[in-house]
Amino acid sequence: MTARILVVDACCLLNLLATGRELELAVALDATFLVTPQAHGETRYLCGPPDPDVDGQPPTQIPVELSPLMQAQRLEVHALSEADAEAFIACASHLRDADASSVALAATRHVPLASDDGKVKKIARRLYPEMEVISTLQIIREAVEHVGIVGEPLKQLLQDLCTRGNFSPPRRDPARAWFEALK
Amino acid sequence: MISSKQLGERIAAARKRQKQTQAELAAKMGFARTTLITIEKGERPLSSVELMRLGEILAVPVNELLREHSVVGEVAPRFRMGPIVGVEMSETAMAVERVRKMAVRYVELERLHEIERVPGRLEALEMYRATAAGARVDPRLAGRDAAFTVRNALSLGDGPALALDERFEVEAGLRIFYPRLGRSVAALFFWSDELGSCIAINRDHPHERRRWSLAHEVGHFLRDREAGDVFPAGGHPRNDPSEVFSESFAAEFLLPQSGLSKQVADRLRANGGRFTPPDIVSLAHLYEVSFEAMTLRLEDLGALHKGTYERLKAHRFRPQDAQAKLGLPRLKADTPILPKRYVTLALQAYADELISEGDLAEFLETDRVTARGMYNAACQQLTDDDDMLELPLGQDLMELGGLDKL
């Protein structure tokens, strides 16, 4: 049984996968990530190297690989039950089903929600002011400081986050200054 | 927050799209049919559990049923999918549904931005409508006249008509998409009160053909927008007045008689009275139509003898080889599926946190990470000094003032 449970939405899960060190980060935090089936369904591709055979050489799509996290029991797909229906419906008036289910799951389980999505965070805070909402960068920062990943390995991790995840730190991310200083 | 009545209407619309009767859906939900009737009328509220189940059974996102800016957008009932010679109907029905969804999303984006579209100039043109008194005019003549009127309205003169998509979007309020439409369909047109006029052009066709299809569908927009159109890849029967009008419109709009006549006369003067197949190739390239379309048009105008195209074909004249030898570049066919304005509205909505990343991916018909890449690219612009400039996508420049100083 891990010390922490976090609900990750599709946005955050993709970002963690983009680092290529998602299992390490989960272990460093002693965390299990919960994802709803709808959010899981939208966690599909990362950005790969350019395709030389296509005009303009657009990036390729690399299917995500969730099995290492799941096999290590650091990621669980957790469907909503009828008991979560009211929370889900309240969220689904404002958010697409994948995002609504993530917020609803975090609300009904009373656990933090990990998201980088501006609209998701806005709605979560409006409907559940007491909910803890954390960002990918906050997760990464806490994990790397816990296990002492610094210097070039840390820069590479953040570089992979940007290139494989097309990540750009949200304007109001609490860890944005930390990220910018390291880039 | 939407009303019970609105929710009921959306449930009914979703049920009908799934081709389910009220009895069938009620049975799946464990209701009496009368209960479902009251739900669809907005007279009985649904519990959260019932709403979740309904979403699963109707295969519709619950958010689509509940969100404020959701658009039902049923295609006008007069757009009938009766058998059309040479058209694979099930393939076409799927294409119509795909385009309908794109149009629905377009309208939703406008609503999110609180944009109430003001009709463009061409939308107000009534005189070519099939129901107007002018319908008694010979459709070929009417089509030519309509083309002249539209060219004037767009200040095109009698030269090549380029950048048509943006002109028609603004001046006619058309929503123009470029999806794959299968092998048997060149273009689609439909209209509804809620969605406006929507045109889909087959992206697998060459650029020149797509332009012709677009002009043809604009003809339908002018003449009989409620009826809609499926433009078969093999062409329409020539005796239908709407088709005669639309083809005549397309021909005169893309290849105006006065402009072409001048072009031919100029070339004759320059070439000592000779007019050769490479001249046709060169003109076709200038006007961005196919060699066939240009040759037939010149025959029609009397500039070439009837049968010239068939004779050239029989002699195996290869227009593409001639084009390459003349050093004329091949006109590119990589038109985006979605209109520029649509993409801009989607990116701005994301910047303003009106939509989420997942919504953005859905609007852009791609995955989340690719959508992020498109957003990042839109936000960044290289300056003249090769620095990267971050653009505040959502900022309204009118708020900064300045227009009154022009």
**B317-340 per-residue burial string, b: 16 or more CB within 10 A, e: under 16:** bebeebbeeeebeeeeeeeebbbe
Please state, for a pLDDT cut of 70, what percent of chain B lies above it.
87
Question: What residues contact residue B346 under an 8 Å CB cut-off, 6+ apart?
Answer: B109, B355, B360, B363, B364
pLDDT at B321: 87
The answer, yes or no, to whether residue B27 has pLDDT greater than 90, is yes
Considering only CB atoms, A166 lies closest to which of B48, B362, B369, namely: B369
Closest partner CB to A85 (pick from B48, B357, B358): B48
What is the CA A21 to chain-centroid distance, rounded?
Answer: 13
What's the rounded Cα separation, in Å, for the pair B394 and B348? 5
Q: Could you give the CA distance from residue B283 to residue B299 in angstroms, rounded to a whole number?
A: 14
β-bridge mates for residue B230, sequence order = B188
* Residues B95 and B188 sit within 8 Å (Cβ to Cβ): yes
Decide if A118 touches B, using CB distance below 8 A. Answer: yes
Q: Do B62 and A42 touch (CB under 8 A)?
A: no
B48–A contact, CB cutoff 8 A = yes
The residues, any chain, with a CB within 8 Å of residue B175's CB and separated by 6 or more, are: B102, B103, B106, B169, B195, B196, B197, B198, B199, B339, B342
Instruction: Compare CB distances from B355 to A55, A119, A166 and report the shortest one's residue.
Output: A119
**Average pLDDT for residues B375-397, to the nearest whole number?**
66
Q: State how far residue A26 is from chain B, nearest Cα, in angstroms.
A: 22
Nearest CA in chain B to A89: B48
DSSP-assigned letters across all residues of B101-121: HHHHHHHHHHHHTT--PPPPG
If you search the block for the tokens 């058998």, which residue do you land on?
A: B83
Cβ B293 vs Cβ B255: under 8 Å: yes
- Flag the least confident range among B20-24, B50-54, B122-126, B204-208: B122-126
For chain B, the average pLDDT equals: 87
Q: CA A170 → CA A165, A167, B380, distances in Å?
A: 14, 9, 15
User: Cβ separation of A59 and B51 shorter than 8 Å?
Assistant: no
Q: What is the pLDDT of residues B72-104, one digit of tens each?
A: 777 754 444 455 666 666 778 888 888 989 999
Whether the per-residue pLDDT at B133 is higher than 80: the answer is: no
Tell me if A82 and B370 make a contact (CB, 8 A cut-off).
no
Average pLDDT over residues B365-380: 92
Q: Is A137 exposed, middle or buried (0-12, 13-18, 19+ CB in 10 A)?
A: buried
Residue B251 is predicted with a pLDDT of 97
pLDDT at residue number B80: 46
Residue A97 to residue B359, Cβ atoms within 8 A: no
How close are the terminal C-alpha atoms of chain A, in Å?
35
pLDDT at B389: 57
In order along chain A (183 residues), what is the average pLDDT of each group of 10 residues? 91 97 96 97 93 79 95 96 95 97 98 97 97 97 94 95 95 94 86
Q: Which residue, among A122, A130, A112, A123, has the nearest Cα to A172 in the 3D structure?
A: A122
Number of other CB atoms surrounding residue B244 within 10 Å: 20
This model of the complex carries an ipTM of 0.95
Mutation target to probe the A interface, by most A beta carbons within 10 A, among B356, B367, B374, B375 is: B356
Tell me which chain B residues have a C-beta less than 8 angstroms from the C-beta of A98.
Answer: 358
Partners of A42 on chain B (C-beta within 8 Å) are: 358, 361, 368
pLDDT computed for residue A145 by the predictor = 95
More confident residue, B406 or B294: B294
Residue B134 scores a pLDDT above 80: no
pTM: 0.89
pLDDT of residue A36: 98
Q: Which residue has the tokens 């010239």?
A: B308
Phi-psi region of B155 (alpha: psi -120 to 50; beta: other; left: phi over 0): left
> Of B238, B234, B258, whose CA–CA distance to B247 is shortest?
B238
**A10:B358 CB<8 A:** yes
Question: What is the mean predicted confidence (pLDDT) over B20-41?
Answer: 94
A42·B67 Cβ contact <8 A:
no
Taking the CA of residue A8 and the nearest CA in chain B, the distance in Å comes to 14
Task: Say which residue, B97 or B334, is predicted with more confidence.
Answer: B97
**Parallel, antiparallel or unpaired: strands A133-134 and B196-201:** unpaired
Pairing of strands A45-50, A59-63: antiparallel
Phi–psi pair at B188, nearest 5 degrees: -130, 150
Query: Quick check: B192 pLDDT over 80?
Result: yes
* Short-list B231, B208, B224, B192, CA closest to B103: B192
pLDDT attached to residue B401: 56
User: Which contacts (CB < 8 Å, 24+ apart) does range B112-119 have?
Assistant: B112/B69, B112/B345, B112/B349, B112/B354, B112/B355, B113/B345, B113/B348, B113/B349, B113/B354, B115/B345, B117/B173, B117/B196, B119/B173
Region B236-249: what's the mean pLDDT? 86
| Rounded CA separation B230/B222 (Å) | 15
Q: What's the CA angle centered on A173, arms A167 and A178, to 5 degrees?
A: 85
Q: Which H helix or E strand runs over B352?
A: none
Strand residue runs (E) in B52-178 = 175-177
Instruction: Please give the pLDDT value at position B131.
Output: 76
Structure tokens at A174: 């609490």
B67-90: string of b/e by CB count within 10 Å (b at 16+)?
beebbbbbbbeebeeeebeebbee
A100, B63 in Cβ contact below 8 A? yes
CA distance B359 to chain A (A): 7
* Chain A environment of B373 (Cβ under 8 Å): 47, 59, 166
B63 vs B386, higher pLDDT: B63
Is the predicted pLDDT of residue B313 greater than 80, yes or no?
yes
Q: Which residues contact B219 (CB under 8 A, 6 or more apart)?
A: B143, B146, B242, B245, B246, B247, B248, B249, B250
Q: Which of B47, B63, B334 sits opposite A95 (nearest CB)?
A: B63
Name the minimum distance, in Å, from the CA of B222 to any CA of chain A. Answer: 37
Q: Hunting for tokens 């003809």 — which residue is that?
A: B219
DSSP state of B404: G
Nearest to B195 by CA among B288, B265, B100: B100
Flag if A45 and B48 touch (Cβ within 8 Å).
no
Q: Say what the alpha-carbon torsion angle B348, B351, B354, B360 is, to the nearest 10 degrees.
A: 80
pLDDT-derived band at B381 (thresholds 50, 70, 90) equals low
CB-based contact A97 B370, cutoff 8 Å: no
What's the average model confidence in pLDDT over B163-175? 89
Whether residues B61 and A97 touch (CB distance < 8 A) is answered with yes
Which pLDDT belongs to residue B213?
Answer: 95
pLDDT at B225: 84
More confident site: B326 or B395: B326
Q: How many CB pairs under 8 A join A and B?
A: 101
Which carries the bigger pLDDT value, residue B394 or residue A138?
A138
Residue B387, pLDDT > 70, answer no
The shortest C-alpha distance from A91 to chain B (Å) reads 9
Q: What is the pLDDT of residues A128-145, one digit of tens each?
A: 999 999 999 999 999 999
In three-state form (DSSP H/G/I as H, E/B as E, the rest C), the secondary structure along B366-402 is CCHHHHHHHHHHHHEEECCCCCEEECCCCCCHHHHCC
